[in-house]
């Protein structure tokens, strides 16, 4: 729409996206890892180090894995999200040689949710999994309705087109295509049961491939009732507002203020005609991206020996599935209901949590919008036009980029 020196434009877009992806993240058929642990010189000696000998194939023939992994799907996800935007712009010809481009854009990129509310999010205040409800569909993740962003630009020629000076600045937002914008909370426990199991006591067998019926002596413990036999199976869960996660689970957490990706772009350049058939263009181009997707295990162990110390002659009350590495994690004591009365951590002398929602879990994977990147460049271009439509182009770019990993 043209009105005097103004050329006005406006528009809007609305989309509803749905994804129905049911494949597990990692090990839908199960996975075993075998190394030389149980056939080396340190086999069955939890205090030994510097093992020699042994072979992974020998451990395999004995049926003694070092780690066991499996993902079990207990849902048919149908995640949905709304993407909407509206904009208004004005191309304003201020003078014969000066034009301004002014625009304002609003973006809505909602938090995805499952049509059946089959999503859960870890609460870092309680250590429990909050289940999505009709009034908290994230759950515990807000949608930002205030994404108003400017876009401005100009073009100026002081000498009737022989020299052109241009510049622009703009911000745009867009959904991420992995993780925090889908593919996370609907895949959380208890709908996607992700088991990551490993040896808790050094050099000590803890699992077997076959059942006691097929293998009378699984060799993983004198008490076969505490031995992991075969792959982990589906664990039925009675749903409620909050759920205690499985000790073998790897959990997902999305922060409340997770945001869609944001790109800020700017440029400034001067183009100059050289003679009748040549031009040179020099420009600075920059981009800064924020709110980029990152997936980080925020529940790693603190540095240190990571062993559990129990006085000689005292029977430890620490369960076999809690090792020093497990007990010295960042969130291991969150919501703890019982600490060990016999043992402490060697690295800090601190208590060992033996009963709590996060006392023995495998990982807390935070999927969030905390990543960023920055790109700056000098771009030079020389163009030469010849006869019969032939043109030569010579360009050079010097750039620098930084980003988070």
Q: Are 218 and 148 in contact (CB under 8 A)?
A: no
Residue 241 lies in a domain: yes
Per-residue pLDDT of the chain (405 residues; tens, 9 = 90+): 888 899 999 999 999 988 877 776 666 778 888 888 888 877 776 666 667 788 889 888 888 888 888 888 888 888 889 999 999 999 999 999 999 999 999 999 998 899 999 999 999 999 999 999 999 998 999 999 999 999 999 999 999 889 999 999 999 999 876 655 567 898 888 888 777 777 766 677 777 776 554 444 445 554 444 567 777 777 777 778 899 988 877 899 999 999 999 999 999 999 999 988 999 999 999 999 999 989 899 999 988 888 899 998 888 899 877 888 889 999 999 999 999 999 999 888 889 999 999 998 888 999 999 999 999 999 999 999 998 889 999 999 999 999 986
* Pick from 223, 77, 91: nearest CA to 154: 91
Total residues found in the chain within this entry: 405
Domain that holds residue 13: 2-299+361-403
Cα dihedral: 138, 142, 143, 145 (round 10): 160
The DSSP annotation for 316-377 comes to --S-TT--HHHHTBTTTTTT--EEEEEEEETTT--EEEEESTTSS-SEEEEEEEEEEEEEEE
44 found inside a domain = yes
Asked if residue 375 is part of any domain, the answer here is yes
Residue 342 lies in a domain: no
Q: Take residue 279 and report the two structure tokens written for it.
A: 């031009």
Q: What is the largest CA-CA distance in the chain?
A: 97
* Integer CA distances (angstroms), 319 to 90, 101, 229, 314, in order: 69, 67, 18, 14
Distance CA 45, CA 38 (A): 10
Phi, psi of 59 (to 5 degrees): -60, -40
Burial of 251 (0-12, 13-18, 19+ CB in 10 A): buried
| Residue 50 maps to a domain | yes
Q: In angstroms, rounded to a whole number, what is the distance separating the alpha carbons of residues 341 and 7? A: 77
Asked, for residue 216, whether it belongs to a domain, the answer is yes
For 276, residues 6+ apart whose C-beta sits below 8 A from its C-beta are none
Residue 330 is assigned to a structural domain of this protein: no
CA 172, distance to chain mean position in Å, is 22
In-domain check, residue 23: yes
* Number of domains into which the chain is organized: 1
């Amino acid at each position: 729409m043209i009105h005097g020196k103004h050329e006005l434009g406006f528009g809007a877009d609305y989309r509803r996206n749905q994804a129905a992806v049911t494949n597990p993240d990692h090990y839908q058929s199960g996975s075993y890892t075998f190394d030389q642990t149980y056939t080396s010189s340190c086999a069955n000696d939890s205090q030994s180090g510097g093992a020699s000998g042994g072979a992974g194939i020998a451990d395999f023939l004995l049926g003694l894995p070092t780690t066991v992994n499996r993902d079990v799907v207990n849902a048919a996800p149908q995640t949905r999200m709304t993407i909407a935007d509206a904009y208004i712009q004005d191309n304003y010809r201020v003078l014969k040689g000066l034009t301004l481009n002014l625009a304002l854009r609003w973006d809505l990129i909602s938090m995805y949710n499952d049509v059946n509310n089959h999503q859960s999010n870890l609460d870092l205040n309680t250590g429990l999994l909050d289940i999505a409800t009709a009034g908290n569909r994230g759950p515990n993740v807000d949608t930002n309705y205030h994404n108003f962003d400017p876009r401005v630009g100009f073009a100026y020629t002081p000498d009737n087109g022989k020299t052109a000076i241009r510049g622009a600045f703009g911000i745009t937002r867009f959904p991420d295509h992995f993780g925090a914008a889908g593919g996370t909370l609907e895949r959380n426990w208890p709908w996607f049961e992700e088991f990551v199991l490993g040896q808790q006591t050094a050099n000590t067998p803890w699992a077997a491939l076959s059942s006691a019926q097929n293998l009378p002596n699984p060799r993983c413990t004198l008490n076969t009732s505490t031995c992991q036999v075969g792959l982990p199976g589906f664990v039925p869960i009675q749903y409620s507002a909050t759920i205690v996660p499985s000790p073998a689970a790897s959990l997902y957490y999305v922060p409340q203020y997770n945001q869609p990706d944001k790109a800020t772009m700017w440029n400034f350049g001067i183009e100059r005609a050289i003679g009748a058939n040549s031009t040179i263009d020099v420009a600075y181009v920059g981009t800064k991206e924020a709110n980029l997707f990152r997936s980080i295990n925020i529940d790693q162990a603190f540095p240190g020996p990571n062993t559990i110390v129990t006085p000689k002659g005292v029977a430890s009350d620490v369960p076999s599935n809690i090792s020093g590495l497990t007990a010295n994690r960042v969130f291991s004591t969150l919501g703890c209901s019982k600490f060990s009365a016999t043992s402490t951590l060697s690295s800090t002398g601190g208590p060992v949590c033996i009963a709590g929602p996060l006392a023995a879990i495998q990982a807390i994977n935070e999927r969030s919008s905390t990543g960023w990147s920055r790109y700056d460049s000098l771009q030079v271009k020389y163009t030469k036009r010849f006869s019969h439509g032939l043109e030569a182009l010579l360009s050079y770019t010097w750039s620098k980029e930084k980003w988070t990993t």
